[in-house]
Amino acid sequence: MIKVSDPCELCATPGGEILWESPTCRVIRVDDPNYPGFCRVIWNAHTREMTDLEPAQQQHLMSVVFAAETVVRRLFAPDKINLASFGNMVPHLHWHVIPRWPDDKHFPEPIWGATQRQGSFSRRVVSHREWAAALNETLNMTEHQN
């Protein structure tokens, strides 16, 4: 049985290296060698569900998720994007933004599904600096600094 997090690790820690942050949410890097480009958008306050947010907050958070998707597509050129918000173990709103390739470890299963193959590691290498700059540029352009 996997232990459900208590106290909340997304309140206690950033949850990863921060690529971009605003007063309401942050984008962090997930360092999974099978999924370069995998990042999470984490709401800063300890909120459980999207429908516990006000409509303007929902819209803001999703606009950051979609900006993160735009940047991942541009920098890592995946075949497909997967988006997911679960929070079963850590019930603090966070979105997974996951680049997928037909030769990755789990394709076409979700990354939480059964392993399909070893997976290829010949992906483009993107530095933290380049990724952070692209996010900053995209989010500034779309005026999502609130």
Exactly one of 32, 109, 130, 137 binds a second copy (CB under 8 A); which one? 109
Contacts 24+ apart (CB under 8 A), 69-75: 69/97, 70/138, 71/131, 71/134, 71/135, 71/138, 72/37, 72/39, 72/97, 72/99, 73/99, 74/134, 75/37, 75/124, 75/126, 75/130, 75/131, 75/134
Q: How far is the CB of 13 from a second copy (least distance, A)?
A: 19
- Measured between alpha carbons, how far is 92 from 6 in angstroms, rounded to an integer? 11
101-to-15, 47, 79, 80 alpha-carbon distances in Å = 25, 32, 5, 7
Nearest to a second copy of 18, 50 (CB atom): 50
Residue 4 sits in the site that holds a second copy (CB under 8 A): yes
Using the contact rule CB under 8 A, the part of the chain among 7-15, 24-32, 38-46, 56-64 near a second copy is 56-64
Q: How far is the CB of 133 from a second copy (least distance, A)?
A: 19
Residue 16 sits in the site that holds a second copy (CB under 8 A): no
- By CB under 8 A, the count of residues binding a second copy is 35
Taking residues 111 to 130 in sequence order and writing x for each that binds a second copy by CB under 8 A, - otherwise, the string is -xx--x--------------
Binding site for a second copy (CB under 8 A): 1-2, 4, 48-51, 55, 58-59, 62-63, 66, 69-70, 73, 80-89, 91, 100, 107-110, 112-113, 116
